[in-house]
Amino acid sequence: MSDEAQTETARAKQSGTEHDELRTLLESGEASDGVHTHNELYDYRMLYNAHAANGWHAAGIPVVKSWRHSDGELCFGGGWFVVVATLSTGQISNHYGRDAWGLFQIPEAEVPPKYDGHTPAEVVDRLRRALDVREGH
């Protein structure tokens, strides 16, 4: 094998190894931006959302948790639940593992309100607009 071919083979192996290492980090949740890991950010999001859901419920904003999706199927086959809030700007939702159930001190529903098909981008827009409404903008 020529020196050039050997160099290319070595680069391909190194690239494959780096790809495998990155995949392992991503799948484990331990990939980091240099400050936080994905797992840490997921925990922050969950806790912020629990505070928000509990506050919305206390303020009379419709918010529920359910082990099932609105079609009656268990969330991801079981072990997960969905939290659905109906803000003045529209429906938003997130899923959490069973260990977080008790953090959400909101009503349990056999099935949540019918899913309106919202995307993550629409949830961001609805949350931003809900903040604008509260701030009087």
Residues 101-129 have pLDDT tens digits of 999 999 999 999 999 999 999 999 999 99
Residues 11, 62 within the same domain = no
Stated as kind and residue range, the H or E segment containing 132 is helix 120-135
Distance in angstroms (rounded) separating the CA atoms of residues 89 and 112: 18
pTM across the whole model: 0.76
pLDDT of residue 95: 97
Domain of residue 9: give its range. Answer: 1-31
Residues 51, 66 within the same domain = yes
Residues 63, 120 within the same domain = yes
* Number of domain units in the chain: 2
In the chain, what percentage of residues exceed pLDDT 70?
A: 77
- pLDDT of 28 > 80? The answer is no
- pLDDT of 7 > 70? The answer is no
Residues 79, 122 within the same domain = yes
Residues 12, 64 within the same domain = no
- Residue 50: which of 111, 105, 88, 93 has the closest Cα? 105
